[in-house]
A and B are shown apart, each in its own frame.
Chain A
Amino acid sequence: MPTADKSATKALHVKIDLQHTEALLKTGALQSAIFNSANFSSIATDAKGVIQIFNVGAERMLGYAAADVVNRITPADISDPLELIARAEALSAELGTPILPGFEALVFKASRGIEDIYELTYFRKDGSRFPAVVSVTALRDAQGAIIGYLLIGTDNTARKRLEQTFQEKNVELENANQAKDRFLASMSHELRTPLNAIIGFTGTLLMKLPGPLTPDQNSQLRTIQSSGRHLLSLINDLLDLAKIESGKVEVHFEQVSCRGVVAEIAATLRPLAEAKGLAFEVEIPTIDIVVESDRRALSQIIINLTNNAIKFTDKGAVRLQVAERLKNGHASTEIRVVDTGAGIRPEDKAKLFQAFEQLETTSARRHEGTGLGLHLSQKLATLLGGHITFESELGIGSTFTVVLPRKAA
């Protein structure tokens, strides 16, 4: 039987281990190795706390010779008295019994058989102080009565210093982050305020509120208007991007109907496509697909992709499709934006999602846009737990697909 074999082997191991352990204890090799360690202070006391053993590590850390302290003082006498008071108060409250702020506070938990390790401050012989981590164990005779305590301590100075450095660095980082946020907030206000007046008064002129316009004035004002709007969308995209990068964009996941989102976008953008003589088609499955997503972020992604499709397509159609897919056992929802536009050259595909990359198009026409749209969309898709993929053939068209994970029910 394999189980029986296993336990037999285990029993044998324990026996051999016990033999080894006994040999170590009998020779006193273990004890002397521990007590001679110069890196740990080992202080053993009697039941009342009076120091009986003070090893070389304790001598080195605390500056006392064993003869200075043995049979003379308790470890409480070389500990920070204020910390002892605080510790006694905390323990009294925790254990519901009054504990004195002396040696009792150091060993009370150990005396009740509770494993105890804590931080305290030791005073050296020369009056200087250092932080230590101390582990306390009760020493018992054969009948189980407490005959003393063993306090093993390590110097905690290096770790404390590191902790402090980390804390200072954290404060610095927090300050820098707040400065950046303030900068972003004021920049957005400062940059947009003048644009408000530029775009606004161009609008009042174009509305001919102040008076009639010549055809030249009209066309030049239209140029100012579209340039102003372009600049505004550039600022908005940059700020959106900065917000995403700094983790300031919060996504709220809720049940989102794909049909609803697509229908809303179709209603908004169909006129734009039809004004260019493009067909605008929507393909949604008869049963609506509901995804766990952030409605606003999802809409923004699809609006960006659809706007691009309309912008880069001169004839044919722009199509929105929603479908479910099962790939490698993972169900996902895909929202596709298909166009019959210029397409993307193979050499341009790699930089498509980079910031400020607007590719040269076959029509050699500079399209208005910030060059941030796809970059931003991809970032948003990542926030939603999804991603954007695309396929494209030069001169035939492109398909951009938003892939959203389907949460397992």
Chain B
Amino acid sequence: MNARVLVVEDNPANLSLMAYLLRAFGCTVLTATDGAEGIELAHRERPDVILMDLQMPKLNGFDAADRMKANPVLRGIPIVAVTAFAMVGDRDKILAHGFDGYIAKPITPETFVEQVQAFVPLGRADGAT
């Protein structure tokens, strides 16, 4: 898979884990460490899919998703929450904020890239433009 994936995550270890796995399977990876930086990068680079942590400094994942989905330029890019489902009710909250789906933390390295691929719009996963 050589999709262009934007990973927004404030924890450096988790960020490098996801980036490492995606690169190992041929993706181009862009990284941001808070929601505001994520939005800026999404504007500039127009990735195929965005993976987003929820609890982040400055602009958290929920607010960042709200803003992206309210923006006509970014609205079409799938956003996937990567979350540990910390508390009851989080799942409904995630979908209500316009996320297109979620991947549970801790991620399973063996299946992670496959899970991400499921969210990449058709025609982009194979590198077609």
Among residues 171 to 206 in chain A, which have CB atoms less than 8 Å away from a CB atom of chain B?
184-185, 188-189, 192-197, 199-201, 203-204
25 contacts between A and B (CB under 8 A): A185-B87, A188-B86, A192-B86, A192-B106, A193-B14, A193-B84, A193-B105, A194-B13, A196-B13, A196-B105, A196-B107, A197-B13, A197-B14, A197-B17, A199-B106, A200-B14, A200-B21, A200-B106, A201-B17, A204-B21, A204-B24, A207-B110, A209-B20, A232-B106, A248-B88
Cβ–Cβ < 8 Å partners of A184 in chain B: 87
A203 to B14, CA, bound (A): 13
Cβ contact within 8 Å between A204 and B17: yes
Cβ–Cβ < 8 Å partners of B20 in chain A: 204, 209
Could you list 7 further interchain pairs (A-B, Cβ under 8 angstroms) beyond the known A188-B86, A197-B11, A204-B24? Answer: A194-B13, A195-B106, A196-B84, A196-B105, A197-B13, A243-B88, A249-B88
Partner of A185, one of B17, B21, B86, B109: B86
For the complex, is B129 an interface residue (Cβ under 8 Å from A)? no
SS of A interface (majority)? helix
SS of B interface (majority)? loop
Among residues 69 to 110 in chain B, which have CB atoms less than 8 Å away from a CB atom of chain A?
84, 86-88, 105-110
Cβ contact within 8 Å between B14 and A196: yes
A189 to B110, CA, bound (A): 23
Given A194-B13, A201-B17, verify A189-B84 contact (CB < 8 Å).
yes
A201 to B110, CA, bound (A): 11
Cβ–Cβ < 8 Å partners of A193 in chain B: 11, 14, 84, 105
For the complex, is B55 an interface residue (Cβ under 8 Å from A)? yes
Among residues 5 to 59 in chain B, which have CB atoms less than 8 Å away from a CB atom of chain A?
11, 13-14, 17, 20-21, 24, 55
Cβ–Cβ < 8 Å partners of A188 in chain B: 84, 86-87
